[in-house]
Amino acid sequence: MSKLTITAKELRGIGFPESPVIPVAMDVVGKQFKHEKREDVMEILKAVLASPLEYKNDAILGMIAEKLLPKEEVGEPEISLNNTGVHFNVFGSEHIEQGAFHQMYSAVKLPIAVSGALMPDAHHGYGLPIGGVLATDNAVIPYGVGVDIGCRMCLSIFDIDAKELANREQYFAREISEATLFGSGAQFKQAEDHEVMDNKAFFENPLLKGLHGRAWKQLGSSGSGNHFVEFGAVTISENDAILGVEPGTYIGLLSHSGSRALGACIANHYTKIAISKRRLPQEAKNLAWLDLNEEAGQEYWIAMNLAGDYASACHHIIHAKITKQLGRKPIKMVENHHNFAWKEQFDGREVIVHRKGATPAGKDVLGIIPGSMTANGYIVKGKGELASLNSASHGAGRKMSRTQAIANITYEGLKNELNKYGVKLLGGGLDEAPFAYKDIEAVMDSQTSLVDVVGKFTPKIVKMCGDPPRFNNRKKGSQIEGE
């Protein structure tokens, strides 16, 4: 088998800037991916290019990511963190790794910090920890929102007997596969039509104008990583006036994805500006903020909201396509962002509440908290708990990094787990295996003061990014049954 090599021309063709990153990328590919498929390696490189911060600490890809990250400008004097930070509450501390605590300790020492909270699914991220909530005074932190701006959940509940998912498995699997595209660089040949693409922000901001064409081609796609579209059984045990769905078991269509390349480009562009304006100590560098009274802050706020609307439109397009094929309108749709910033009231004044991987849980606000590809997810209703800044977890949370998961989980183990729970997986991989996630039941038990559970979603047919896993310990073998 010939060894794989990637040329500088190929790297430039997918958007890599010139030196010093191109030689580094070529060297990494030559040493670490020389026996991999070209198309697989190109997709990995596209993912690193789109979200370098996500790969900064990766043992292999970190060298490439480091060269892609914005360099700190040294012209501005360093801003000191406060000696003691503002108070933050922790929920389910026994489930949270120390890295997330350390990041939160830095965040609450920012001069702009007002209050904070850490959710039970929290783990180490960039800037704020994933599962971190931070209220600030008239300032927004791009990496406090996250790279995938407006990443969200969307659930459509159909009055169809859930037994149909087993009886007509191939039909439902086909409808998911035909409704969207997965992959970091995935684009449709023919763009969908949606009013979000006419938003005036696309034409008033040069950055957004340059992203308009690609965003249109990605409208309705689902991305990679932990993003999914899945069918499952929705169980409603008792009447709830806010949810408004009669007790029973239904078919649910659940999707999880965000704002694609649009959000990633916005995040990276404005983080670079924020870092140039506010030079912070190294441990807090990625918490650089933009004041909402300054032009860059106002631009980011508009761009962030556009990315949120775009993410919502992606979900609605996917659900509309499948709804049309089912010939049945949903009796209820529940949805929520979990990578966003909101203007809210706290202690008698307006603050900016960042929820990076956290679900809004204001009084009677509905949301979705998923588990894993085999674990239950939950429809929840917020209790409006001020101690959590009206927030809850956004999922079970990772207990293994992607690198750890790939190194420690086998395809045979994943296959057995899927069979155990009767789940059909379309695509997916070891990095998203259920073993890589915390116990969703334990996480939910840690936030009973934050949300009430009003419904349950049990996954049955799950579509994620990637080639179908092969169950022979990473060697060629049979694919998932039915694929």
d(CA 119, CA 133): 8
Q: What is the pLDDT of residue 256?
A: 97
One-letter amino acid at 270 equals Y
Average pLDDT over all residues of the chain: 91
Q: How confident is the model at residue 71 (pLDDT cuts 50, 70, 90)?
A: low
The CATH number linked to 374 is 3.90.1860.10
Burial of 327 (0-12, 13-18, 19+ CB in 10 A): exposed
- In-domain check, residue 482: no
- First-to-last C-alpha distance (Å) of the chain: 26
> Is the CB of residue 72 less than 8 Å from the CB of residue 279?
yes
> Is the CB of residue 401 less than 8 Å from the CB of residue 437?
no
Phi/psi at 276 (nearest 5 deg)? -70, -25
Q: Which tops the pLDDT comparison, 318 or 481?
A: 318
> Is the CB of residue 88 less than 8 Å from the CB of residue 70?
no
Of 20-29, 162-171, 470-479, the poorest mean pLDDT is in 470-479
Give the DSSP letter of residue 20. Answer: T
Give buried/exposed letters for 35-61 (b at 16+ CB in 10 A, else e): eeeeeebbbbbbbbbbbbbbbbeeeeb
One-letter amino acid at 41 equals V
Mean pLDDT of 8-21: 79
Number of domains in the chain: 2
* 194 and 56 in a common domain: no
* 183 and 61 in a common domain: no
pLDDT in tens, 292-341: 999 999 999 999 999 999 999 999 999 999 999 999 999 999 999 999 99
pLDDT in tens, 352-364: 999 999 999 999 9
- In-domain check, residue 123: no
Q: What is the pLDDT of residue 348?
A: 94
Mean pLDDT of 72-78: 63
Of 62-66, 170-174, 407-411, 472-476, the poorest mean pLDDT is in 472-476
| Boundary residue ending a domain (51, 68, 85) | 68
> Is the CB of residue 157 less than 8 Å from the CB of residue 366?
no
One-letter amino acid at 172 equals F
pLDDT(472) > 70: no
What value, to the nearest 5°, has the Cα angle with vertex 319 and ends 318 and 321? 65
- In-domain check, residue 301: yes
Q: Which tops the pLDDT comparison, 116 or 186?
A: 116
* 277 and 178 in a common domain: yes
Q: How many CB atoms lie within 10 A of CB 2?
A: 6
d(CA 89, CA 255): 30
* 178 and 40 in a common domain: no
- In-domain check, residue 383: yes
Q: Which residues contact 88 (CB under 8 A, 6 or more apart)?
A: 104, 108, 115, 116, 117, 118, 134
* 330 and 232 in a common domain: yes
* 46 and 183 in a common domain: no
Q: Which residues contact 147 (CB under 8 A, 6 or more apart)?
A: 51, 53, 54, 126, 263, 264, 267, 268
* 152 and 61 in a common domain: no
Give the DSSP letter of residue 161. Answer: -
Phi/psi at 211 (nearest 5 deg)? -95, -10
Instruction: Determine the length of the chain.
Output: 483
* 177 and 38 in a common domain: no
User: With the C-alpha atoms ordered 136, 140, 146, 151, is the resulting torsion angle positive or negative?
Assistant: positive
Q: What is the pLDDT of residue 473?
A: 34
C-alpha 131, offset from chain centre = 11
Of 10-19, 286-295, 412-421, the poorest mean pLDDT is in 10-19
* 190 and 53 in a common domain: no
Q: How confident is the model at residue 250 (pLDDT cuts 50, 70, 90)?
A: very high
Q: What is the pLDDT of residue 10?
A: 84
Mean pLDDT of 381-391: 98
Q: How confident is the model at residue 76 (pLDDT cuts 50, 70, 90)?
A: low
* 277 and 413 in a common domain: yes
* 315 and 187 in a common domain: yes
pLDDT(45) > 70: yes
- In-domain check, residue 480: no
Please state, in angstroms and as integers, the Cα–Cα distance from residue 121 to each residue in 37, 125, 143, 314, 437, following that order. Answer: 35, 12, 18, 26, 9
pLDDT(466) > 80: no
Of 68-72, 150-154, 401-405, the poorest mean pLDDT is in 68-72
pLDDT(468) > 50: no
Mean pLDDT of 431-457: 96
C-alpha 41, offset from chain centre = 22
Give the DSSP letter of residue 164. Answer: H
pLDDT(278) > 70: yes
**Domain, as residue range, for 14:** 8-68
- In-domain check, residue 82: no
Phi/psi at 263 (nearest 5 deg)? -65, -40
Q: Which residues contact 298 (CB under 8 A, 6 or more apart)?
A: 292
pLDDT(51) > 90: no
> Is the CB of residue 233 less than 8 Å from the CB of residue 244?
no
- In-domain check, residue 99: no
- In-domain check, residue 98: no
* 349 and 228 in a common domain: yes
